[in-house]
Amino acid sequence: MNYQEIQEALAAVARLSEELETQYIENDGEVTQEAEAIEAELSALKALLQGEGIDELGRWLKAKEDQLATFKAEKAAADRRVKSVQNSIDFVKAKIREVMDMTGTEKAKGSYYGFTATVSERSSVDTEELDRLYLDVATSAAHDAGLPAYVDVVLKTTTTALKEWGATDLLETTRTDTVRFTKPRRSE
């Protein structure tokens, strides 16, 4: 049984159910041979749907769940590969910077590639400090304002907002010696 056959069987069940109801109304609830025939056909269709129909839909659902699991596994593998390549890039840049520091150069240019010494700064929100300072206050205010006790309050901000408001004490900044990479230009 395929999807189209399931759809046709469902439509037939709906149509036969209406016919059966009409038969009972027209015959004041009396069970006639025609009503019995409709009931038998309905019963057979329902049995078919509950057997083969359910199995076919189950196979379809399982195939889609398997496909989703495969895509998630592929995405996780790709994410691991991206992270690995990023770590390699960071390592190579650190080695280039080490060479430049050992040779006392701020700029290095080979035949094809060039590098300039730089410091990379990455800021992130110190969420532990943010929570320590404001979570209890925010939770109390929210619950006093009518928020049910079963709802948790989560504090969230961005590094941009913290810098705009001058709240740099809530920023964690990491500085890393690295290099800026210049590649050969493509000819046009």
My answer on whether 76 and 128 are in the same domain is no
- The answer on 8 and 39 residing in a single domain is yes
In-domain check, residue 144: yes
Please check whether residues 36 and 77 belong to one and the same domain.
yes
15, amino acid identity: R
pLDDT tops 90 at residue 69:
yes
22 and 57 co-located in one domain: yes
The domain total for the chain is 2
Residue 170 near residue 159, CB atoms below 8 Å: no
| pLDDT tens digits, one per residue of 48-67 | 999 999 999 999 999 999 99
pTM value surpassing 0.75: no
Does residue 100 belong to any structural domain of this protein? no
Residue 71, domain extent: 3-83
In a domain, 163, yes or no: yes
Assigned domain for 187 exists: no
pLDDT interval class at 184 (50, 70, 90)? confident
Q: For the segment 154-173, what is each residue's pLDDT rounded down to a tens digit?
A: 999 999 999 999 999 999 99
Within this chain, do residues 124 and 160 fall inside the same structural domain, yes or no? yes
